[in-house]
Amino acid sequence: MHISDAIIGTRVRALISFSGVPSGTEGVIDEDYGTGVMVAWDLPNQRLPAGYRLYDGRPAIQHGLLRDGFDKATELYRLEKLPDA
Protein backbone atom coordinates (compact mmCIF):
# COMPACT_ATOMS: atom_id res chain seq x y z
CA MET A 1 0.00 0.00 0.00
CA HIS A 2 1.21 3.53 -0.74
CA ILE A 3 1.25 6.44 1.72
CA SER A 4 -1.26 8.24 -0.51
CA ASP A 5 -3.70 5.34 0.12
CA ALA A 6 -3.46 5.64 3.91
CA ILE A 7 -6.66 7.63 4.42
CA ILE A 8 -9.20 7.37 7.23
CA GLY A 9 -12.08 5.14 6.13
CA THR A 10 -9.99 3.09 3.68
CA ARG A 11 -10.62 -0.67 3.85
CA VAL A 12 -7.46 -2.77 3.97
CA ARG A 13 -6.39 -6.42 4.16
CA ALA A 14 -3.51 -7.81 6.26
CA LEU A 15 -0.89 -9.39 4.00
CA ILE A 16 0.83 -11.12 6.94
CA SER A 17 -0.38 -12.44 10.29
CA PHE A 18 -0.20 -10.30 13.42
CA SER A 19 -0.95 -11.25 17.00
CA GLY A 20 -4.64 -12.15 16.93
CA VAL A 21 -5.00 -11.11 13.27
CA PRO A 22 -4.65 -13.84 10.63
CA SER A 23 -3.28 -12.98 7.19
CA GLY A 24 -6.16 -11.97 4.94
CA THR A 25 -8.15 -10.26 7.70
CA GLU A 26 -9.88 -7.08 6.59
CA GLY A 27 -10.07 -3.86 8.54
CA VAL A 28 -10.48 -0.11 8.20
CA ILE A 29 -8.03 2.75 8.75
CA ASP A 30 -9.78 4.64 11.51
CA GLU A 31 -7.11 7.11 12.70
CA ASP A 32 -4.18 9.04 11.22
CA TYR A 33 -1.65 10.14 13.83
CA GLY A 34 0.78 11.87 11.47
CA THR A 35 3.61 9.38 11.04
CA GLY A 36 1.27 6.42 10.99
CA VAL A 37 -2.26 5.10 10.86
CA MET A 38 -4.35 2.82 13.04
CA VAL A 39 -6.33 -0.08 11.62
CA ALA A 40 -9.40 -1.49 13.36
CA TRP A 41 -9.74 -5.17 12.43
CA ASP A 42 -12.99 -6.80 11.33
CA LEU A 43 -12.47 -10.17 13.02
CA PRO A 44 -14.92 -13.08 12.72
CA ASN A 45 -15.57 -13.02 16.49
CA GLN A 46 -15.23 -9.20 16.83
CA ARG A 47 -17.06 -7.56 13.94
CA LEU A 48 -16.75 -3.84 13.36
CA PRO A 49 -19.97 -1.89 13.79
CA ALA A 50 -21.84 -1.36 10.51
CA GLY A 51 -20.42 1.66 8.69
CA TYR A 52 -17.47 2.01 11.08
CA ARG A 53 -14.87 4.44 9.69
CA LEU A 54 -13.52 6.78 12.38
CA TYR A 55 -12.11 6.23 15.87
CA ASP A 56 -13.93 8.40 18.41
CA GLY A 57 -11.15 8.54 21.01
CA ARG A 58 -12.79 6.25 23.55
CA PRO A 59 -10.63 3.33 24.71
CA ALA A 60 -10.84 0.57 22.09
CA ILE A 61 -11.88 -1.92 24.77
CA GLN A 62 -15.15 0.02 25.20
CA HIS A 63 -15.93 -0.73 21.54
CA GLY A 64 -14.50 -4.24 21.63
CA LEU A 65 -12.09 -3.25 18.84
CA LEU A 66 -8.71 -4.72 18.09
CA ARG A 67 -6.52 -2.00 16.57
CA ASP A 68 -2.92 -1.96 15.34
CA GLY A 69 -0.70 0.95 14.32
CA PHE A 70 1.36 1.08 11.12
CA ASP A 71 4.18 3.51 10.42
CA LYS A 72 3.60 5.18 7.06
CA ALA A 73 7.26 5.10 6.05
CA THR A 74 8.13 1.53 7.02
CA GLU A 75 5.06 -0.68 7.59
CA LEU A 76 2.37 -0.05 4.97
CA TYR A 77 3.75 -2.89 2.83
CA ARG A 78 2.00 -5.19 5.33
CA LEU A 79 -1.39 -3.91 4.15
CA GLU A 80 -3.30 -4.08 0.89
CA LYS A 81 -5.84 -1.38 0.00
CA LEU A 82 -9.20 -2.91 -0.95
CA PRO A 83 -11.29 -1.56 -3.80
CA ASP A 84 -13.97 0.95 -2.81
CA ALA A 85 -17.32 -0.70 -2.20
Question: How far is 20 from 53, CA to CA, in rounded Å?
Answer: 21
If one counts the domains in the chain, the total is 1
Yes or no: say if 65 and 48 are a contact pair by the CB < 8 Å rule.
Answer: yes
Q: What CATH number has the domain bearing residue 37?
A: 2.30.30
Low-confidence ranges of the chain (pLDDT < 50): none
Q: Residue 85: its pLDDT value, please?
A: 59
What predicted TM-score, i.e. pTM, was given to this entire model? 0.92
Range of the structural domain that residue 13 is part of: 3-81
Q: Residue 59: its pLDDT value, please?
A: 79
* Sequence-separated (6 or more) residues with CB below 8 Å from residue 2: 76, 81
Q: Residue 33: its pLDDT value, please?
A: 96
Q: Residue 62: its pLDDT value, please?
A: 74
Q: Residue 72: its pLDDT value, please?
A: 98
Burial 51-67 (b: 16+ CB within 10 A, else e): ebeebeeeeeeebebbe
